[in-house]
A = this chain, B = another copy of it.
């Protein structure tokens, strides 16, 4: 598992004063970018130079408790499934201050050549990076 810590920013709440529902996915993507940091040049090099990316095909979010400005989210990323050309990721967002679980996100992505948006086999270094984060879908 991989943990990314991420404070809520001033502009991320909506008119109801809670983090806007779409932004939970920003939190997940930030965690994913952080997860790829060990690759040379990180996620940016992978996507921009090597042209390999992970378009989503399916996302599920369960919202359990709101995040507000001042909260820090702990985002635990696990890999539920590591296929030949697809990956299932699971993100659990917890409020740092009180340990309350805020959201659980499942995301299925397809390993793709970004130029053509066509699926490709997962590069070996990506598989090696993700394999240690494999975890059963329970937890």
Q: Which residues of B contact A44 (CB under 8 A)?
A: 7-8, 10, 15, 69-70
Could you say which residues of chain B place their CB within 8 Å of the CB of A26? 9, 11, 22
Instruction: Please give me the residue from chain B that is nearest to A37 by CB atom.
Output: B7
Complex Cα distance A23/B15, Å? 14
Assess whether A18 is interfacial by the CB under 8 Å rule: yes
Contacts of A7 in B (CB 8 A): 33, 44
Per-residue CB proximity of A106-122 to B under 8 Å, as 1/0? 00000000100100000
Shortest CB-to-CB span from A116 to chain B, Å, is 11
Q: How many residues of A contact B (CB 8 A)?
A: 43
A33: which B residues are within 8 A, CB to CB?
A: 7, 9-10
Contact yes or no, B10 A15, CB < 8 A: yes
- Return the chain B residue nearest A42 by Cβ: B70
Across the interface, do A21 and B59 meet the contact criterion of CB distance under 8 Å?
Answer: yes
**Contacts of A21-50 to chain B: CB distance below 8 A:** 21-23, 25-26, 29-30, 33, 41-45, 47-48
Question: Which residue of chain B has its CB nearest to the CB of A21?
Answer: B56
